[in-house]
Amino acid sequence: MTTRRGFVLGASAVATAWAAALPRFAQAQAFPTKPVTLVVPFAAGGPTDQIARTVAQKMSASLGQPVLVDNRPGGGGQIAAALVKQAPADGHTVFVGATEMFAINQTLFRKFAYDPVKDFRPVGALVETPMLLVVAASSPAHSVQELLALARTRPNGLTYASQGLGSIGHMLGQALSQQAKVPLTHVPYKGSAPALQDLMAERVDLMFDVVMSSGPLIAGHKLKALAVAAPQRSASLPQVPTLAEAGVTGLDASVWFGAVVPAGTPDVAVAALNGAIVQALGSPDVAARFAEQGLQPKPMSASRFGDFMKSEIDRWTPMVTASGAVVD
């Protein structure tokens, strides 16, 4: 039988242990306890960087800590991913990337330094933007069908630029060639900017690019948008038909951006980060700014984003494999 004295001693011991554990428990539950860093795998000024900085400003206010952006370009996202993968799994270091980093590059690269599913924990999606089929303003093609007809009249067909080997622009150009049965030669670049420069100078004939970077050039009459590779027209370019409306079906592809943290990051940190992102995306001024850039906010829970990432890997893997594109 337990004596009263023994009960008191036992209760005292439990209370002492609980009191000792409280600081550790509170520390485990508190997030963030220091500035949060969003690691971006592209140089400053690019679409991913601009998106991250816009969201970071709002996240700082809701989290009560500075949210910084650290640009670590190179290696198809591997440099930035390695930094986050090796960081403490406490939620203070976040990897912000695009479709390629999460669903394409692990198939494209012969040797790849991370597994987007096993090495990271999903936090949430940010935005998505459709790809536009664009040509130089001086191009003789004024529609998709005129562009395809032009390709058929030339012995070697047409050339198409992309943001890089294995990029969505690369995949869509190849798919268009196969779907429409026209010869298109791929010319890869290191990002949208140099590719768009050569497109405007007619050194290449066409390109699939995001609204965010090509939209201002369309507005400035330096490029023509022939179609949008999405199920619906873009709200920022409502006059541009979809590829399906232009007679080419099955080429719907948007670029999406999301955030992940190292595997093993606590639920409390993931929940706080997801909540801050969702709140930022719901901010009227952020929504208005993104709308001007042709970006559509894509708020979702961490678990739903994880399922979405896996579905995108399943969708893009066979396309990359079929393309034969490989990066050593």
More confident residue, 46 or 53: 53
Longest dimension (CA), the chain: 99
Provide the CATH number for the domain formed by 31-128+255-323 in this structure: 3.40.190.150
Domain ranges of the chain: 31-128+255-323, 130-229
Q: Is residue 47's pLDDT more than 70?
A: yes
Name which of 199, 196, 157, 161 is nearest 180 in CA terms.
Answer: 157
6's tokens: 């023994």
Same fold, 31-128+255-323 and 130-229: yes
Lowest mean pLDDT among 30-34, 191-195, 305-309: 191-195
282's tokens: 């719901």
Q: Is residue 69's pLDDT more than 90?
A: yes
pLDDT band at 292 (very low <50, low <70, confident <90, very high): confident
Contact 204, 161 (CB under 8 A): yes
In terms of pTM, does the model score above 0.75? yes
CATH of 130-229, one of 3.30.360.10, 3.40.50.10800, 3.40.50.1000, 3.40.190.10: 3.40.190.10
Cα–Cα distance for residue pair 37/92, rounded to 1 Å: 6
